């Protein structure tokens, strides 16, 4: 009797131990799935300057870029992704990620907590089928509902509002639309990707106009992808299979272009994502060169980066969003949102400028400048090591590091 009781007690104790282990494993799995918030901006200061021979060189651009963290992994659970395609932010700082093959939009707090999702898979009104780009206008989220060949609109709280479009080539019809952007007046610009054109609608979905045909001439497209408005209302379009960015006014009049096919700095290979900032920079996801590139709005190359070492390589970057000194990039191959800290200064010889950045390991590079050759960089702290066109160094919380780049003519 006593022995049977001891056996029962032993079995109960074993079961309790197994339940505790399973609970621990489940907690660990949830912790792995939960996105990690980007590092809060710290008091770390990086001061950058240039010395030139001969003296007096002007307008050198220096850029610091660092991988910070990533959100998500492959899966269907909250905080997991299957080929995420775009990321956007509303006025409250809530982040929205188009979870393409899960046919939903996921919402995250600024700190990275999962807040819920918008949409479920299907073809009926209020459903999504492989959504792509996202634009926020007031309390509306406008989505290219790509495989449904339409635009779907929800409130940011997830309530379905309206939709428009159907498969076809007529006015207001689409063939796999990818990109969407909204101007300050509420006009919706859509890259009708497989029809090689841009269409414009009111926020209610009323067709207004279009431009573009298949080709590689100015104002023509070959599978245009994402688009974004820049200073003065100029519209920047990632013309993916022409390996370039085209710039238009709001009426569709061609203004300029930049980018040529290839792997060299400033060249592009199937660019998809694009984000234009108010301080005069354009970020491009150079998808099949597996990197992000930074340009001026005039198309001048500034910098590039990619975390290729360790556990955080970027595969095929897609959608882009810059918020302050952070850049968010959706990565199709790793099923994650990759987050980078970065900043650029423009200095003359003998002058310096400071960047306040989160802690991290930074590549600090000088943009190639016609007539000048970069020689070396001398830094006070940060354990610098030499890389192409600059140095790699570490910034710790509270650190103050200075680097002077020497250039010769």
> What φ, ψ does residue 101 adopt, rounded to 5°?
-80, -10
Q: pLDDT tens-digit profile of 57-111?
A: 999 999 999 999 999 999 999 999 999 999 999 999 999 999 999 999 999 998 7
- pLDDT confidence of residue 313: 78
More confident residue, 13 or 145: 145
- Please state, for a pLDDT cut of 90, what percent of the chain lies above it: 86
- pLDDT confidence of residue 315: 87
Give dist(CA 12, CA 9) in Å, integer. Answer: 5
- Please state, for a pLDDT cut of 70, what percent of the chain lies above it: 88
pLDDT tier, 306 (very low <50, low <70, confident <90, very high otherwise):
confident
pLDDT tier, 311 (very low <50, low <70, confident <90, very high otherwise):
low
- Do 335 and 80 form a contact (C-beta atoms < 8 A)? yes
Give the residue-averaged pLDDT of 282-289: 97
CA proximity to 62, closest of 345, 363, 390, 298: 345
Neighbours of 251 (CB within 10 A): 10
Continuous segment of H or E residues that includes residue 17: helix 2-33
- pLDDT confidence of residue 21: 34
Q: pLDDT tens-digit profile of 137-176?
A: 999 999 999 999 999 999 999 999 999 999 999 999 999 9
pTM exceeds 0.85 for this model: yes
Peptide bond into 226 cis (omega under 30): no
Give the residue-averaged pLDDT of 337-360: 96
- Do 245 and 298 form a contact (C-beta atoms < 8 A)? no
What tokens were used for 357?
Answer: 């950045």
68-101: string of b/e by CB count within 10 Å (b at 16+)?
bbbbbeeeeebbbbbbbbbbbbbeeebbbbbbbb
CA 134 to chain centre: 12
pLDDT tier, 112 (very low <50, low <70, confident <90, very high otherwise):
confident
- pLDDT confidence of residue 321: 97
- pLDDT confidence of residue 40: 52
């Amino acid at each position: 009797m006593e022995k049977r009781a001891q056996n029962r007690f032993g079995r109960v104790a074993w079961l309790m131990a197994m339940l505790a282990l399973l609970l621990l494993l489940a907690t660990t799995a949830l912790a792995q799935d939960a996105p990690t918030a980007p590092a809060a901006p710290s008091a770390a200061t990086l001061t950058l300057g240039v010395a030139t021979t001969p003296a007096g060189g002007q307008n050198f651009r220096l850029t610091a870029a660092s991988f910070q963290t990533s959100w998500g992994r492959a899966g269907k659970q909250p905080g997991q992704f299957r080929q995420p395609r775009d990321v956007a932010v509303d006025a409250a700082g809530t982040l929205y990620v188009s979870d393409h093959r899960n046919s939903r939009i996921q919402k995250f707090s600024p700190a990275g907590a999962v807040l819920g999702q918008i949409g479920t898979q299907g073809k009926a009104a209020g459903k999504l089928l492989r959504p792509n780009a996202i634009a926020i206008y007031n309390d509306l989220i406008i989505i290219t509902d790509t495989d449904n060949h339409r635009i779907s609109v929800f409130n940011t709280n997830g309530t379905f509002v309206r939709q428009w479009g159907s498969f076809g080539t007529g006015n207001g019809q689409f063939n796999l639309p990818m990109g969407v952007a909204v101007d300050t007046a509420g006009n919706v610009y859509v890259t009708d990707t497989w029809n090689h054109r841009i269409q414009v609608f009111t926020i209610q979905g009323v067709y207004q106009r279009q431009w573009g045909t298949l080709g590689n001439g100015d104002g023509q497209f070959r599978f245009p992808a994402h688009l974004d408005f820049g200073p003065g209302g100029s519209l920047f379009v990632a013309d993916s299979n022409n390996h370039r960015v085209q710039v238009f006014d709001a009426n569709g009049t061609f203004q300029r272009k930049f980018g040529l096919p290839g792997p060299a700095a400033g060249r592009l290979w199937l660019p998809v994502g694009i984000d234009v900032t108010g301080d005069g920079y354009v970020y491009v996801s150079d998808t099949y060169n597996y990197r992000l590139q930074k340009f001026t709005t005039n198309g001048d190359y500034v910098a590039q980066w990619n975390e290729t070492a360790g556990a955080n390589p970027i595969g095929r970057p897609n959608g882009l969003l810059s918020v302050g000194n952070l850049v968010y990039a959706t990565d199709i191959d790793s099923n994650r949102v990759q987050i980078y800290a970065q900043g650029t200064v423009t200095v003359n010889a003998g002058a310096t400028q400071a960047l306040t950045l989160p802690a991290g390991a930074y590549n600090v590079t000088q943009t190639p400048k016609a007539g000048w050759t970069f020689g070396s960089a001398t830094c006070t702290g940060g354990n610098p090591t030499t890389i192409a066109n600059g140095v790699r160094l570490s910034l710790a919380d509270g650190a103050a590091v200075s680097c002077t780049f020497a250039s010769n003519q």
